[in-house]
Structure 1
Amino acid sequence: MTRHAVLLAATLAALLAPGSGAPAPGRASRNKLLLVSFDGFRWDYDQDVDTPHLDAMARDGVKARYMTPAFVTMTSPCHFTLVTGKYIENHGVVHNMFFNTSSKVKLPYHATLGVQGWWDNGSIPIWVTAQRQGLRTGSFFYPGGNVTYQGEALTLSRKEGVLHNYKNETEWRANVDTVMRWLSEDGLDLVTLYFGEPDSTGHKFGPDSQERKDMVQQVDRTVGYLRDSIARHGLAGSLNLIVTSDHGMTTVLKKASDLVEIHKVPNFTFQDIAFELLDYGPNGLLLPKEGQLEKVLGLLRGAHPRLHVYRKEEFPANFHYANHPRIPPLLMYSDQGYVIHGRVNVQFNNGEHGFDNRDLDMKTIFRAAGPSFKRGLVVEPFESVHVYELMCKLLGIVPEANDGDLSTLLPTLHSGEGTTPTPMPTPTPGGARSALQAGHRLPWLMGLAATAMLLAKTP
């Protein structure tokens, strides 16, 4: 073998070595992505409030008439749909609260955010998928972004505290500043950023209140600050921005003469129930004691015209919700505006969500702008389950199996934007990144190998 052939062969061996970490071709030109969620931003909140920054974003990019969230229209389940592309019965985060029907343990929302097994139950969110394909990701307060998945944590993450003040606009800007540093200085490619408003204000004061309108203006100012920050950090030409939400909000009919009160149903008793998850808006989950299912179902079904009660296997399939092992045998939901009162009447919110995702008040927003998106485009309504495929396209990564369809949102992009990587088997956690990087380098490495073999035959 000649000296040149030996050098080529040595170079080839080094490049093929596991964990070599050389970037994939074109990696430097891939645009970054920032997904921002303003919790509880109903689709029409910009129609009774002046929102110049959201309006400017729509002119500069893409606006949906509205987006339909997954059912059940709650914060954690809907946010996890956005980052997995799966309906709730397929990703398993079925409620804001962790619950265990055997131990009877129930945990509130903030505690559930840190329960590893509640989130890591078989579905891989986009953060981990991107990292396994050579990218760096971060989550700032986004539900599900502070645990590990199959042992892998996000590159950077922040988790909100139990007593976190959702309304502090000064802190909002500081959070935006942190995320900008992550993207511009720390080299992150994908970041998800979460704000707990206008959901909190909508719950407390109602969606038609002046307080909610004031909060929407704060959201709009924050969108303006965010877009200005993108420009200041030199990211305008390389960062795609998506602004969306998890669900809408509707007014609670607190003074209705026909409240839904389970404890007032004739002949019904909680002594027949082994586990219940009630008093959380318009949804209910029940595990009757052994031998009591038919009795309980018979008493509750038809007990109230605003209450809909089903066996698990009979729950409407279009909701894509009930077919998961975490769901107990009986499910119920109430009509828009009516919450379900369990043992006592304890719900006092003026605004609520969790209702049928076909109800217009549950619809939410979608805005997108950046180098990959068309300008001034208004698109027809679509389901939130499709956003995941769009984000994978923007990042040039192979998506996990999901329920979305790329063709739904592909028309929002300029022709040729994003990359279409060759699908490959889902990598194992250990060594996944190096295997994928090697796959990207395979064509030119094969050419190099052929050259080395030819030189080896040269005297």
Structure 2
Amino acid sequence: MARDRDGLFSEKHYDDDAALVPSESESENGSESEEDVRDGDRDILDETEEHEKLLQKPSRLERARGAFGLRDGRQEGGSSGKRATKSTSRRSRKRGMSTPDKLEGGFTDSNSEDSFEIQAGKWEGKTSKKSHGGRLAMIYLAITGLFVALLFGAYKASSKKHKLAPTEHRLTRYNNGTHIFRPTTIFISLDGFRADFLNRNITPALNAFIASGVSPKYMLPSFPSVTFPNHFTLMTGLYPESHGVVSNQFWDPEFQEEFWYTNVSVSMQPKWWNAEPLWVTAEHQGVRSAIHMWPGSEAHIPDVEPTYMDKYNGTEALPRKVDSILRWLDMPGDDDVDAAAHEDLRPQFIAAYVPNVDADGHLYGPNSTEIRATIADVDSMLTMLVEGLLARNLTEIVNMVIVSDHGMATTSTSRLVQLDDLIDMSLVDHIDGWPLRGLRLKNPDRDISILYEALSEKAAESGNFNVYTLETMPERYHFTKNDRIAPLWIVPKTGWAVVEKSDFDVADALATGEEYAPKGLHGYDHEHPLMRAIFVARGPAFPHEPNSQLPIFQNIEVYNIMCDSLGIVPHPNNGTLRLPLKPQGLHSENDNPGSEVVADPVDDEEDGGEDTPAPDEDQDTSNPSTTDSPQSGDDSPTDTPPEGSAPSDTPQRDDASADPSPDKDNPPADVGDGQHRTSSSWWSFVHEQLEKAKEWAKEFVDSIKGNKEGEGEPPV
């Protein structure tokens, strides 16, 4: 029975062939054995608690207690610690081991089975922490990699969309002998300068620019071909429907207000100008801008003003414009030694607006003697500018881009459409545009389709105008996607105008012989030959052979070209043309800008103008074999060179070699002295021709200037 009570500890529970292990209890008395059993149970419980504690992450409070030698609210070495030491010693004696050194957190004897289990628990805890930290590190690395990939993708996308080209020019600085110039561009707009005005033998400066630079036969404006929309297109690269200035006057249904270009208190509010102009693009990228009278420059377009700005002054003398440009060029630059001491530093982008040709074209007509004098006067202004650049040794350092915004057509009392005879004016709520008319109706849902049908029939009968809704508007106009565009339009044929009786009674005028004014108009189909504009460029950003001919393009392309010439990134726009430009050969003597004869509309009874246009304004004028015959009363000098002649074919001044050529300031090795360079003889030739033309132009202008009236009229 006694052996039965031994239970699992008795020998009979082992196999017969199992080796017998002597029990220590047999060598000790019974009382000691019972104490060992009780103590053993307590030891097992204590050891289990220790294992659980080791497998759990200690709280901040427990770590703080451990730092001060506390365990379970008791200081280490108390009764609990003694009991643990005692039980441990007993177990050690049972296994024949010495008492190990005690360290914080458990036992460290690697030979002890208990110590191994405790260390395993500690290792598992450390491994868990390390594994958790590793996962976090991998997550951080993945996020970082994704962010870098997104940045790289954005960079690649932006570099494709806004490539800075050409890099050589963008990194190049030039030295004129006294100062260092960063990329600098002068941008001049000759409002209303029709492309074929170049063919009147009164523009030696412009013709010299063409002969030395790069230009298309003409540049197309945007529709409608009026001043404010096209000047903002030149500065943004956007169609009028995209930048919001859709005409010189229009109604905004959201503002419930009218934009009228001559009402400066209204039109020069920034809310009308919904795009970023070039001067804002430049200022954002650290390129100073100086704007002289450009339409819209006074509108405080967000979110930065041009560094320098001259307000519009229609009576300003042309030489003062030259003085403004040269004054800005004479300012110290960023790279000058004493630049920090100057408050005003040189701009790199200079834009100047010249309204004279447009103003006199409206007042006298595009074929008048007065407009010829104005054209010659403007060309003389360019002569003075060239001489100013030559005196500063800047002719091969600054870029010059000369453009116009549209052309001009002759009007007549016999070419008027009386709007009151076409529709019931009581149906109309508001009229936009001029000379074309955009109609906003009081009940558009009911009346637009009815009026469209009726007006279309009358247009087919007369042949003097076209009628469009936003759905039928020609796609090439890009003139539908804006709420500021009226839903119904009457677009007159070139040379015609649509008028209301309250402004001009056509029947009475025809009966009394009253003449319609203005005598010149634009705003028509932007692709009509009489609406063609000009583009001429020359300078280090245009490294082309002199007299290079570009393919014909629309003025939405100018913004990108200007940005590239300055080395700045364009804002998103409708243009696609970028530097370097790709000429398609050279202009020939009979196929250069302005050489094509353009038929101007005339009355049935010709009024004796100096030009003899073809009788039908819609005739085909694309035949390049047709040339302009000498005009009556042409007092141009006989030594003016033929338009388009290359500089190498022209006489040179004796002192041409004395003209120093500018040096670059530490240019990159791969930026040569430049295929864009022409010899100083070209500028010597220009100077010689301009000197000869200047006196003639002055006398010619002075002889008729007394007959000119209306100076200072606002541009249209």
Q: 1:289 to 1:189 in 2, by over 3 A?
A: same
Equivalent positions of 1:22-421 (< 5 A) are: 30-97=182-249, 99-101=251-253, 103=256, 105-109=258-262, 111=264, 113-119=267-273, 121=274, 123-161=275-313, 164-165=314-315, 171-185=317-331, 186-256=345-415, 259-265=416-422, 268-277=423-432, 280-281=434-435, 283-290=436-443, 291-304=446-459, 305-346=463-504, 348-373=517-542, 374=544, 375-407=546-578, 410-411=581-582
**Offset at 1:377?**
1.4
Paired residues, number: 379
**Offset at 1:207?**
1.0
Task: Judge conservation of contact 2:557–2:577 (CA < 8 Å) in 1.
Answer: yes
Q: 1:416 to 1:313 in 2, by over 3 A?
A: farther
Tell me which moved more, 321-330 or 401-410. 401-410
Q: CA RMSD in A?
A: 2.4
- Equivalent residue, structure 2, for 1:453: none
Q: Within 1, Cα distance between the matches of 2:329 and 2:267?
A: 24
Amino acid at match of 1:230: L
Q: Within 1, Cα distance between the matches of 2:494 and 2:484?
A: 25
Q: Deviations over 1:51-106 (max 9, x none)?
A: 21112112221232111111110001111111111111111110112533463535
Higher relative contact order structure (alpha carbons within 8 Å, sequence separation ≥ 6): 1
Q: TM-score, with normalisation over the residues of structure 1?
A: 0.77
Q: Within 1, Cα distance between the matches of 2:184 and 2:198?
A: 27
Amino acid at match of 1:229: G
Tell me which moved more, 36-45 or 109-118. 109-118
Q: Within 1, Cα distance between the matches of 2:228 and 2:431?
A: 19
Tell me which moved more, 328-337 or 291-300. 291-300
Q: 1:289 to 1:110 in 2, by over 3 A?
A: closer
Q: Within 2, Cα distance between the matches of 1:95 and 1:353?
A: 12
Q: Within 1, Cα distance between the matches of 2:485 and 2:456?
A: 18
**Offset at 1:110?**
5.3
Structure 2: gaps (5+ residues)? 1-169, 174-179, 332-344, 505-515, 585-669, 673-716
Task: Judge conservation of contact 1:83–1:125 (CA < 8 Å) in 2.
Answer: yes
**Offset at 1:408?**
8.1
Q: 1:363 to 1:388 in 2, by over 3 A?
A: same
Amino acid at match of 1:175: K
Q: Within 1, Cα distance between the matches of 2:263 and 2:322?
A: 22
Q: 1:103 to 1:340 in 2, by over 3 A?
A: same
Identity of aligned residues (%): 30
**Offset at 1:385?**
1.2
Structure 1: gaps (5+ residues)? 1-23, 418-459
Q: Within 2, Cα distance between the matches of 1:416 and 1:275?
A: 58
Task: Judge conservation of contact 1:273–1:288 (CA < 8 Å) in 2.
Answer: yes
Q: 1:318 to 1:327 in 2, by over 3 A?
A: same
Q: Secondary structure at the match of 1:202?
A: helix
Q: Within 2, Cα distance between the matches of 1:361 and 1:296?
A: 30
**Offset at 1:191?**
1.2
Q: Secondary structure at the match of 1:55?
A: helix
Q: 4+ residue runs of structure 1 moved beyond 4 angstroms?
A: 24-29
Task: Judge conservation of contact 2:191–2:356 (CA < 8 Å) in 1.
Answer: yes
Tell me which moved more, 178-187 or 332-341. 178-187
Task: Judge conservation of contact 1:356–1:362 (CA < 8 Å) in 2.
Answer: yes
Amino acid at match of 1:314: T
**Offset at 1:32?**
0.2
**Offset at 1:382?**
1.6
Q: Deviations over 1:264-315 (max 9, x none)?
A: 12xx22211121125x22x111111123323332332322322212211321
Q: Secondary structure at the match of 1:71?
A: coil
Q: Within 2, Cα distance between the matches of 1:338 and 1:96?
A: 18
- Report the structure number with the largest CA radius of gyration: 2
Q: Secondary structure at the match of 1:303?
A: helix
Amino acid at match of 1:117: K
Q: Secondary structure at the match of 1:192?
A: strand
Q: Within 2, Cα distance between the matches of 1:342 and 1:104?
A: 21
Task: Judge conservation of contact 1:41–1:198 (CA < 8 Å) in 2.
Answer: yes
Q: TM-score, with normalisation over the residues of structure 2?
A: 0.50
Task: Judge conservation of contact 2:285–2:568 (CA < 8 Å) in 1.
Answer: yes
Q: Within 1, Cα distance between the matches of 2:503 and 2:191?
A: 26
Task: Judge conservation of contact 2:259–2:267 (CA < 8 Å) in 1.
Answer: no
Q: Within 2, Cα distance between the matches of 1:407 and 1:178?
A: 29
Amino acid at match of 1:179: I
